Chain A
Amino acid sequence: MDQILQHVINAMVLGSTYALLGIGLTIIFGIMRVVNFAHGELYTLGAYTAYGMVTLINLDFFSSILVAALIGMLIGALIEYVFLRRKDLKNIDEVMLIMIGIMIIMQNLELMIWGGVAKIIPTPFSQDPISMGAIAISPTRVFVFCISAVLLVIFYLGIERTRFGLAIRATFQDQDAARIVGVNVKRIYTVTFALGSAMAAVAGALLAPMFVATPLMGDLASLKAFAIVILGGLGSLGGAALGGFLLAFIEEFGASYISSAYRDAFGFLVIIVVMLFRPQGLFAAKERVG
């Protein structure tokens, strides 16, 4: 029983960051229909930014996360403005290939700058785990969960309660209709890409201290993000959040009780199974948002 509870705690922490990653991709994919292969690279960028801030200029950990988010936003906006504006986004294949090109460039730049050796991000928390009976959790993980939860709530409020959020939701539902009522769709695109990228960057900055930062970590992150989007169903932000937790649970329990070697494969298997049997995702129909 304790074992199960431990797994639940682990899954909740992991799931909260997966939710951030997944929502980031959902808005990009949902609004712009861009198969964003570079999403994982923004995740990696977030991790390395946090690493750089903490080790190179001795910035405190909390501010580093903020900086990671800002950089993610900037790079995301830059990518959208420079590369995606020119293309009619209806050419899914060309846009997708451009994103692959960006992924290659970002990944190898990271390799050039930081080298291939994995980096550990020092955190201000003690390494002593907090015990509650037979369950143990490190302070770092508690912090990660709290921040993720707070960000998810802020995002929810932003989407539901602000005018801007309204514009985003409107574009999500029906671009042309949104354009008719005066939403500046071009600007929404830029904001969406920036916001989605920022969320990926924050997810990276939060997860990296729990593990390590490597230039190749983005590959897996991109694919897991897609698994989450597919799990949650395309049109649903709440679904993506739940999808993030669900994937974490599947991974955690699958690795413990089925096979630890296939841990990362569960995400892919999920994609294949869901696509075959319930392509609209597990939650909500296409049109619902939030």
Chain B
Amino acid sequence: MAISKRYLASLLVGTLAATPVWAADPIKIGVSQPLTGAVAASGNYVTNGARIAAAEINEKGGLLGREVELIIEDNKSNPREAVNAAEKLILSDKVPVIMGAWSSTYTLATMPKLEEYGVPMVVETSSSSKITKAGNPWIFRIAPTSAMEAQAFAKKLDNFDPPIKKVDFLSVNNDWGLGASQEFEKMFKANGIEIGRKETVSPDTVDLSAQLSALKGTGSDTLIMTSGVEQLTLGIRQAADQRLSQRIVTTGGSFPEPLLESPGPKGYTSSHLLFFSPWTPESSVYPDIAGAFVDAWAEAGYSFPGLSEGFRGYDGIMTIAAAIENAGSTEPDAIREALWDVQVKGVNGDISFFKDGPEGKESGQNEPNVYVVQLKDGEVSAQ
């Protein structure tokens, strides 16, 4: 869109002006993200984060003395297109490594191709456990699984007052939403919290009043919502409309930005599990890295709330860059070997991979940090 084109133009000028002419061919890194379609907002944020990372690397002299070039393909929020995008990147652009593909469904679709052609992929967002349990040694995930998210949240239960005693669930009815409600249910039960009612909603539904009516008067004090930005916003507003008594906690890392400009009723609060909170960068593990990222983002003119997902692109590219640097090569196999040994300081925190999945064919999985923030009257604060 217009802003990013402007940014790219200034990036080009800046690169030409500030850095020396590159000696050899650029190093290509493939990016597969939903730039159009149902989840386009998130896909664009992640891609912008990736662009910032690439610009930063190039400003510091590039990778192995060569320029980093992102080849960005739109997977159109669709698994078939995700396969097409991966094939174009691998067969036509000949990238040695990819970052993608946002949704678990698109990532799962892409995985057989990675194995077929022998190209590693860093997974920056998808949370389904299937991804690392499938026995695909070309997958390295920096995003948390829903199980990890639930465990991290368990440590924050005490931050809630009045304490959480009984929870309801409202989840989008795909891999992600259903997996999340399962994992959170397990965690709550293990912590002696009662489970109330569970409702599901289709990804493109805009009217959640039926589900919310059903959730009224269940006696629970908390409602756990898992979905994307749009549905979280609609759900919170409609819940406020119907005067639902439960406090709302959203999971999955998405933040209902529209509520910043058009807040709910006065005094209404909701809590959100994020993997990066741009409102409280000081709570990050590496505040200077987080701060620098926030500044670069603002300079590029991207919208502030997008930071809560944009960082994934940044951390993903930085991870890939570290692997290439350590491998000293741009061969896919060498990059894959090197990914096992990376230790990166990212916006979310430390990034490194442990083995996950069936013996002999493990994928790499990271253990990220989780942050909880509170939204009230259009203002965000740490919970």
Q: Do chains A and B touch in the complex (CB under 8 A)?
A: yes
State which residues 88-137 of A face B: CB under 8 Å.
111, 115-120, 122, 126-129, 131, 136-137
Inter-chain CA distance A69–B42, complex, in Å, is 33
A260: CB under 8 A from chain B? yes
- Asked if A288 CB lies within 8 Å of chain B CBs, one says no
Which residue from chain A places its CB closest to the CB of B45 in the assembled complex? A117
Once bound together, how far apart are the Cα atoms of A119 and B201, in whole Å? 20
Interface range for A: 20 to 34
Indicate whether A122 sits within 8 Å of B173 (C-beta atoms), given known contacts A6-B213, A136-B242, A252-B210: no
B172 nearest CB across to chain A (Å) = 11
B36 x A126 contact (CB < 8 A): no
Q: Please tell me if B266 contacts chain A, counting CB pairs below 8 Å.
A: yes
Report the minimum CB–CB distance from A10 to chain B (whole Å): 5
Chain A neighbourhood of B202, CB < 8 A: 261, 263-264
Q: Does A3 have its Cβ within 8 Å of any Cβ on chain B? A: yes
Size class of the B contact interface (CB-based, 8 Å): 35 or more
Q: Binary interface profile of B, 193-224, with partner A (CB < 8 Å = 1, else 0)?
A: 00000011110111101110110100000000
Query: Is A84 interfacial (CB-CB < 8 Å)?
Result: no
Q: Are A260 and B263 in contact (CB under 8 A)?
A: no
A260 to B204, CA, bound (A): 13
Say yes or no for A255: interface residue by CB 8 A criterion: yes
Taken together as a complex, chains A and B put the C-alpha atoms of A119 and B230 apart, in Å, by: 9
Q: Which residues of B have CB within 8 Å of A127?
A: 237, 240-241, 262-265, 268
* CA of A227 to CA of B229, assembled, Å: 30
Q: Is the CB of A256 within 8 A of B242?
A: no
Is the pair B210, A260 in contact by a Cβ cutoff of 8 Å? Answer: yes
B residues within 8 Å of A by Cβ? 1, 36-38, 40-41, 173, 199-202, 204-207, 209-211, 213-214, 216, 229-230, 233-234, 237, 240-243, 258, 261-266, 268
Beyond A118-B229, A127-B265: 6 further Cβ-contacts under 8 Å?
A10-B213, A115-B40, A116-B37, A118-B233, A128-B265, A136-B241
Interface residues in chain A, defined as those with a beta carbon under 8 Å from any beta carbon in chain B: 3, 6-7, 10, 14, 111, 115-120, 122, 126-129, 131, 136-138, 141, 211-212, 214, 216-217, 252, 255-256, 260-261, 263-264
- Which 9 pairs from chain A and chain B are nearest by CB? A255-B210, A116-B40, A211-B206, A117-B41, A120-B258, A118-B230, A136-B243, A138-B241, A127-B265
List 5 A–B pairs whose Cβ atoms lie within 8 Å, in order of A's numbering. Answer: A3-B213, A6-B213, A116-B40, A136-B243, A261-B202
